[in-house]
Structure 1
């Protein structure tokens, strides 16, 4: 009698799931069309200052570290408004430009180490930036000016080639 017959056979390894982007191109099977985040950067706007913080890609930006987040806004009564702006860079025959930008609100109470954000909204807004949309209307004038200054100082040629929709929303 075979002593190995009672041992469990290893299960076949499952395919790993990747996030897919629906596009006009024909889908070519499992995992096709995975999102490339290499052309997306998170910008934090906090107190009228805008800066790039790649830690925000994994909810580990400078302002998010050490903060316990709640989906209930009323749990952060003393929170200050902080924005994450997802900025996508695109390229055409003229060169690179800011192709998409979407803003997501957070409330941060650094002293109490509490915060509010809606994670699903952050994911959806990142997706909209990747899909070359501009959703910046919710930003106040000071925050718009800070973002405009950052984008221009980071690369004025990219700003110059960017769609008028971006410039109009940040005017």
Structure 2
């Protein structure tokens, strides 16, 4: 994972801006994903990385996969991935992790042009919303994946982690 960090080209997104430009017209009430960064966790390869294409369901792990909301669709012994919807905010003392919610993704190991997989679209949408609202939903993650996430968030920028809420730290330390 240390090698991956050196190669890291993507950074967390913290954009400040009103998507409606304050005009009070079109787009009022829409959700802005400006502060959301999707992390992909691959526990089999001990890898955690940012993939902004996940915001549009086109991440590296989702390409050429036909998803169904049934875990059996992914076949026996599928690859397990987690997409963690990570929200960052910027306070007076600096940026911090303000919300995080994980969603399971299973992809068949079978070699074929279009692979089969499992993901729950409603879960992804709901967890994105909860992350944006400052909630931390990480308890469903397996121990190894949670450990990878914990190390990644701490190592990425110690200040981000230190300024984050006690709730995040509690959920990350719960299984270490």
| Interval of TM-score (by shorter of Structure 1 and Structure 2) | 0.7 to 0.9
TM-score relative to the length of structure 1: 0.79
Equivalent residue, structure 1, for 2:61: 63
> What is residue 98 of structure 1 aligned with on the other side?
97
Tell whether the 8 Å contact from 1:41 to 1:52 is kept in structure 2 after alignment.
Answer: yes
State which structure, 1 or 2, has the greater radius of gyration over its C-alpha atoms: 1
Quote the residue 1:41 is aligned against.
37
User: Please, which of 159, 163, 166 is the counterpart of residue 164 of structure 1?
Assistant: 166
- Following superposition, the deviation at residue 29 of structure 1 comes to 6.7
- Which stretch shifts more, 116-125 or 47-56? 47-56
Contact 1:99 1:163 in 2 (8 A): yes
Between the two proteins, the alignment pairs up a number of residues equal to: 144
Query: Within 2, Cα distance between the matches of 1:72 and 1:29?
Result: 40
Q: Is the 8 A contact 2:105 2:117 kept in 1?
A: yes
- Residue in 1 aligned with 2:153? 151
Aligned alpha-carbon RMSD (Å): 1.5
Equivalent residue, structure 1, for 2:16: none
Residues 41-80 of structure 1, C-alpha deviations (whole Å, 9 max, x = no match): 0011112321111111111111111111112222222222
Corresponding residue number in structure 1 for 2:131: 129
| SS of 2:162 mapped into structure 1 | helix
Unaligned segments of structure 2, at least 5 residues: 1-23
Contact 1:49–1:143 (CA<8 Å) still a contact in 2?
no
Question: Is the 8 Å Cα contact of residues 79 and 106 (structure 2) preserved in structure 1?
Answer: yes
Tell me which residue corresponds to 1:87. Answer: 86
TM value normalised by structure 2 = 0.77
